[in-house]
């Protein structure tokens, strides 16, 4: 007998995915990003970085949605555009042209934008027409259209992937310089979002460093303050899952959940959802620690993510501020026990995200 469509875990997963659990680093990063975006002069760069899966993309999505909502009365203007730098080309590379084409799509360009086409036949014709146009002509079409729709903010998500552009480091530098020049000439703010390797990419274009306004969205590290906040987040997510009657909340699993997620809330959410799927498949009544540990990423995967985080934190904080998860177990448990005993109930209710976006 297969799973029932109305199994409780499906609703729990939906609630976890849609819920907005307010917490310290999220609110700080959101407020700082919004302040920079709204106050930066045209031609400047807002840089949002941090570990993978902390919520950087979601912050940009929410801010851009607010800006679009404030300008929805004007049918011509496109105040914001967001493009994801995905490397789908040959040998895992992508090109300057692919970014230009994606931007034209997202802006719904009447000739080169695929979104404006109504039928699959028309889409095929548009693709053929676009492919026959030179890259220079597409760039000029984009610049003219940016001016026509009065673009104010250009977001490039997963911008750390620029390092995989054709031409390598030189290609990435030329790409950054091109968009910086376009931002100055056409009067928009460039917003770059990406994991810590983005810090190395931005260094390829030194004159951008003086123009950048940086927002760091960190993970929750090994400190009493951070782990206390992490415990409050676990309390919030506990309201969406069924636990054994003798388990009061996910806080009882805080050591494993913090270490397994590396303190990144996006990783935590995905892990909980994977655990819920396994709960349903095994036809268990409750989500428990054994199930969570069964679906935990492999040590090699976690270590790969962790090494990237450590390298990024070293660039942000400096070597003396780096805190390893491989701390003294006695000290770690002492801090955890204090938190479990003294943590206060999470006072902010989880809220729903608007649809779309990623974390």
> Is 32 domain-assigned?
no
Q: What is the pLDDT of residue 271?
A: 96
Give the pairing type, strands 19-20 and 351-352. antiparallel
Q: What is the pLDDT of residue 124?
A: 46
Residue 177 and residue 239 share a domain:
no
Residue 343 and residue 227 share a domain:
yes
Of 211, 214, 218, the C-alpha closest to 183 is 211
* Across 213-240, average pLDDT: 91
Q: What is the pLDDT of residue 14?
A: 92
Mean of the per-residue pLDDT values of the chain: 83
Last residue of a domain, one of 216, 235, 270: 216
> Is 3 domain-assigned?
no
Under 8 Å between Cβ of 220 and 230? yes
Residue 280 and residue 267 share a domain:
yes
33 pLDDT exceeds 80?
yes
Helix segments in 150-296, DSSP class H: 168-186, 198-202, 206-209, 224-238, 254-261, 265-281, 289-294
Of 98, 97, 117, 114, the C-alpha closest to 106 is 114
Q: What is the pLDDT of residue 127?
A: 53
Q: Give the percent of the chain with pLDDT over 90.
A: 48
Last residue of a domain, one of 216, 237, 265: 216
- The one-character DSSP state at 344 is P
Residue 203 and residue 225 share a domain:
no
Q: Give the percent of the chain with pLDDT over 70.
A: 80
Q: What is the pLDDT of residue 7?
A: 79
Quick check: helix, strand or coil at residue 14?
helix
Residue 233 and residue 194 share a domain:
no
Each residue's pLDDT tens digit, 88-104: 555 556 677 888 888 88
Q: What are phi and psi of 98, to 5 degrees?
A: -65, -35
Each residue's pLDDT tens digit, 142-187: 999 999 999 999 999 999 988 888 888 888 888 888 888 899 999 9
Strand partners, 189: 153
Under 8 Å between Cβ of 232 and 257? no
Quick check: helix, strand or coil at residue 288?
coil
Strand partners, 213: 46
Under 8 Å between Cβ of 19 and 350? yes
CA atoms within 13 A on the CB side of 198: 28
Each residue's pLDDT tens digit, 179-222: 888 999 999 999 999 999 999 999 988 888 888 999 999 999 88
Residue 227 and residue 210 share a domain:
no
334 pLDDT exceeds 70?
no
Residue 254 and residue 212 share a domain:
no
86 pLDDT exceeds 80?
no
Helix (H) or strand (E) holding 300: helix 299-317
Instruction: State the CB neighbour count (10 A cutoff) for residue 344.
Output: 9
**Where in the sequence is the domain holding 148, given as residue range(s)?**
40-216
The whole-angstrom separation of Cα 284 and Cα 80 is 46
The whole-angstrom separation of Cα 141 and Cα 154 is 16
Residue 15 and residue 122 share a domain:
no
Residue 287 and residue 200 share a domain:
no
Residue 127 and residue 157 share a domain:
yes
Last residue of a domain, one of 188, 216, 244: 216
Q: What are phi and psi of 48, to 5 degrees?
A: -110, 115
Q: What is the pLDDT of residue 87?
A: 62
Under 8 Å between Cβ of 266 and 309? no
Under 8 Å between Cβ of 314 and 216? no
């Amino acid at each position: 007998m297969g799973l029932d469509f109305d199994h409780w875990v499906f609703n729990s997963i939906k609630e976890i995915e849609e819920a907005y659990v307010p917490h310290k680093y999220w609110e700080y990063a959101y407020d700082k990003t919004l302040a920079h975006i709204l106050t930066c002069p045209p031609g400047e760069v807002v840089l949002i970085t941090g570990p993978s899966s902390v919520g950087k993309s979601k912050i940009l999505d929410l801010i851009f949605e607010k800006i679009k909502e404030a300008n929805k009365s004007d049918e011509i203007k496109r105040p914001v555009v967001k493009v994801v730098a995905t490397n789908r080309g040959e040998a895992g590379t992508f090109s300057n042209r692919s970014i230009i084409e994606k931007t034209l799509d997202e802006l719904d360009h009447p000739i080169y934008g695929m979104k404006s086409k109504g039928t699959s036949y028309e889409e095929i014709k548009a693709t053929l027409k676009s492919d026959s146009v030179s890259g220079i002509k597409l760039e000029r079409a984009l610049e003219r259209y940016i001016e026509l729709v009065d673009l104010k903010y250009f977001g490039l998500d997963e911008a750390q992937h620029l390092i995989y552009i054709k031409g390598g480091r030189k290609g990435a530098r030329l790409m950054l310089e091109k968009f910086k020049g376009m931002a100055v000439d056409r009067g928009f703010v460039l917003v770059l979002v990406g994991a810590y390797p983005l810090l190395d990419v931005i260094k390829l274009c030194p004159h951008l460093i003086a123009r950048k306004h940086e927002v760091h969205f960190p993970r929750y590290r090994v400190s009493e303050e951070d782990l206390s906040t992490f415990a409050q987040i676990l309390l919030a997510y506990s309201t969406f899952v069924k636990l054994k009657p003798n388990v009061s909340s996910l806080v009882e699993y805080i050591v494993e959940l913090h270490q397994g997620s590396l303190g990144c809330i996006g990783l935590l959410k995905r892990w909980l959802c994977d655990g819920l799927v396994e709960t349903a498949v095994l036809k268990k009544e409750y989500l428990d620690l054994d199930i969570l540990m069964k679906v935990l990423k492999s040590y090699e995967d976690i270590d790969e993510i962790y090494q990237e985080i450590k390298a990024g934190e070293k660039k942000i904080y400096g070597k003396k501020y780096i805190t390893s998860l491989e701390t003294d177990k006695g000290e770690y448990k002492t801090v955890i026990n204090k938190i479990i005993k003294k943590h206060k109930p999470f006072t902010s209710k989880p809220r729903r995200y608007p649809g779309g976006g990623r974390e």
